[in-house]
Amino acid sequence: MTRLTGRGVAPGIAVGRAVVAVRDASQVRYRLASSGVDRERHRLRAARDRTRLELEEISARVSRTAGPAQAAIFAAQLLMIDDPLLTRRADELIRTDRINADWALERAIAELHELFAREGDAWLRERVGDLADVGGRLRRNLRPGRDPLVDLVLELEPPLVLVADELPPSTAAQLDWDRVKGLVCDVGGPTHHTVILVRSLGVPAVVGLGGGTDLILPGQTVALDGSTGEVAVEPTEEALERWRLRAEIAAAGMRALGALRHRPAVTVDGVRLRLEANLEIADEVGRVLDAGAEGIGLYRSEFLLDAAAPEAVTEDAQCETYRTLLAAMAPLPVTIRTFDAGEERWHLTPRAGSHRDRFGLRGIRPALQHDVRFRQQIRALFRAADAGTLRVLLPFVTSAEELQQLRALIDEIRREMRTEITVPIGAMIEVPAAALTVDQLAKHADFLSVGTNDLIQYTLAVDRTDERLMGHYQPAAPAVLRLLRGVAITGRRAAVDLSVCGEMASDPLLVGLLVGLGFRSFSLTPAAIPVVKRSLMAIDTHQASEVARRTLRAASADDVHALLEPMAAAMHKAATHSGGGQASP
């Protein structure tokens, strides 16, 4: 048995067989049962035939347009397909090592690549580019037009644990999470959108494992604890029994908390707090209702763009989704945030993590540059509005001027539609510039919602998805707390409807600090609602404000955590008395 430790980012215990996915889940690896060997060999042959046809077509076209000399490149690629060291070697690996076709091809290409690079022959070295080209085409043709991981998960026997280097939100949004019981990622942090999604689906996850995809072999049994960050590879039968017990205790704890479902969140001194839910996938609205949420405080509509190509997310399709969501929650409010898609999400840049995703044309910025997709979304929202209680939230607002321009644009769309319907329009406070001008923003917003995930990232200049910087991504940093305090005070003075929807509100301890800083309304991941409710019901707002006041003068996040200890103790006591304590190892 091997023990690894990462960072637990989504609570719960999972046990399953490993499926390994690398390079943004474009390459998948698993071991075959003997019955799967023929199927994989067949897939490989079919991919080879398809690749041959495509290359013949390309070669003929190039010959016509550019001449036979240029077409020779593709003739060479055609020869490569049948090279004994490529497809035949992959076929051999499927048979001898019992691995899936994608993995076998990946290995054959790597061996050949090494051979080409090693040879002194310059001609061969130059063929490396062709090899990558042919290899990529063969791999795509193994599952033409489909996401290899999404497909694979449907073929394999559950329960599975997905071990990935980095899992893009677009793939995560399409996976069957009933089969994948847990996620282990080499990179990522708690506010990465993939992590936010799995947490809201109740799937345990551990991230920041470094070389997990190298250390864990496909097919091995993996157990993980999404609270402690522990990962056990090939646990003994005895250890496995202990893991199962832990899973049962954790589940019993969650069931015990179910009793709080219909109780309002009221502090010890009688202050009523509001708990709404964040939602990423509209079909999962049942989880929001099950958690006893008082509405949806944040629906991240950009996840619609992950489940389908952006052009497939038409006005009609959106209208249908929004109507269904509003009707399911009615009369409770549903806050739909307009697409907060960076350039990556619009498929404009090749990779997640590009700085343009954070500083480029993201959030409402494309709308201000007359992007038609904003108009389309606003139209869909107006058309859906009468199905329930809708609120529209604008992401990534940086100034009151911007907000005024957006409101003018929304009014213009409304006039064009000749509709009488009005909906409250709110702004996210997730950029320091917005946090520092809440008084101005409040004049033009019907409500404000604080996105701590981005606010922390931009205040501390720490990329929220970079696992190397997780030690620096500190929600309790005094700079962040001072900014939040300013937002709460200014918001109260302006009498604006103000809530917090970032992940800080899902943390049972930090949410207590947020109450101390002056916030009274929160939107959080559905699975965290019962635990957070129990924590909040154990605090006294006067004591919480006194603690918060002291944290503002603290020198570091560690000092802030030390000041929070008495509050943590009160919450822990409430947890043990209500019988919903966390499983301990």
When CB distances are held under 5 to 8 angstroms depending on the partner's kind, the choice from Mg ion, ligand PEP, none that residue 475 binds is none
C-alpha dist (Å) from residue 441 to 128, 399, 491: 56, 7, 10
Smallest gap from residue 325 Cβ to Mg ion (A) = 20
Smallest gap from residue 523 Cβ to ligand PEP (A) = 8
- Tell me: does residue 190 bind Mg ion (CB under 5 A): no
Is 185 marked active-site? no
Binding mask 415-434 for Mg ion (x = CB under 5 A): ---------------x----
Of 353, 333, 332, 334, the residue nearest 343 (C-alpha)? 353
The set of residues, in sequence order, having a beta carbon less than 8 Å from that of 574 and lying 6+ positions away, is: 534, 535, 537, 538
Smallest gap from residue 279 Cβ to ligand PEP (A) = 11
**Which tokens is 155 given?**
């073929």
> By C-beta, is 213 or 453 nearer to ligand PEP?
453
When CB distances are held under 5 to 8 angstroms depending on the partner's kind, the choice from Mg ion, ligand PEP, none that residue 300 binds is ligand PEP
Residue nearest to ligand PEP (CB): 451
**Which tokens is 185 given?**
């990622």
> By C-beta, is 7 or 300 nearer to ligand PEP?
300
The set of residues, in sequence order, having a beta carbon less than 8 Å from that of 585 and lying 6+ positions away, is: 225, 228, 230, 246
Per the residue annotation, which of 185, 192, 193, 319 is the catalytic one? 193
Per the residue annotation, which of 185, 192, 319, 501 is the catalytic one? 501
Q: Give backbone dihedrals phi and psi of 190, rounded to 5 degrees, phi first.
A: -65, -20
Contacts by residues 151-156 (CB-CB < 8 Å, ≥ 24 positions apart): 152/19, 152/28, 152/30, 152/100, 152/102, 153/19, 153/179, 153/180, 154/179, 156/17, 156/19, 156/30
Of the listed pieces 26-34, 56-64, 212-220, 450-458, which binds Mg ion according to CB under 5 A?
Answer: 450-458
> By C-beta, is 43 or 192 nearer to ligand PEP?
192
Instruction: List the beta bridge partners of residue 436.
Output: none
- Residue among 148, 451, 491, 516 that touches Mg ion (CB under 5 A): 451
When CB distances are held under 5 to 8 angstroms depending on the partner's kind, the choice from Mg ion, ligand PEP, none that residue 305 binds is none
> By C-beta, is 36 or 366 nearer to Mg ion?
366
Q: Coil, helix or strand for 560? A: helix
Which residue in the block uniquely carries the two structure tokens 């101390």?
516
When CB distances are held under 5 to 8 angstroms depending on the partner's kind, the choice from ligand PEP, Mg ion, none that residue 506 binds is none
Contact 473, 189 (CB under 8 A): yes
Smallest gap from residue 465 Cβ to Mg ion (A) = 12
When CB distances are held under 5 to 8 angstroms depending on the partner's kind, the choice from ligand PEP, Mg ion, none that residue 452 binds is ligand PEP
Q: How many residues does the chain have?
A: 585
> By C-beta, is 430 or 503 nearer to Mg ion?
430
When CB distances are held under 5 to 8 angstroms depending on the partner's kind, the choice from Mg ion, ligand PEP, none that residue 501 binds is ligand PEP
E-only strand ranges, 294-440: 296-300, 333-337, 389-394, 425-429
Smallest gap from residue 24 Cβ to ligand PEP (A) = 20
Binding site for ligand PEP (CB under 6 A): 191, 298, 300, 340, 430, 451-454, 501-502
CA separation for the pair 46, 461 (Å, rounded): 49
Is 561 marked active-site? no
The amino acid at 196? I
> By C-beta, is 417 or 433 nearer to ligand PEP?
433
Which DSSP helix (H) or strand (E) runs through 7?
Answer: strand 7-10
Smallest gap from residue 393 Cβ to ligand PEP (A) = 10
> By C-beta, is 101 or 394 nearer to Mg ion?
394
- Tell me: does residue 454 bind Mg ion (CB under 5 A): yes
CA separation for the pair 548, 515 (Å, rounded): 9
Smallest gap from residue 300 Cβ to ligand PEP (A) = 5
Contact 388, 354 (CB under 8 A): no
**Which tokens is 468 given?**
């190397």
Binding site for Mg ion (CB under 5 A): 430, 451, 454
* Residues taking part in catalysis: 193, 501
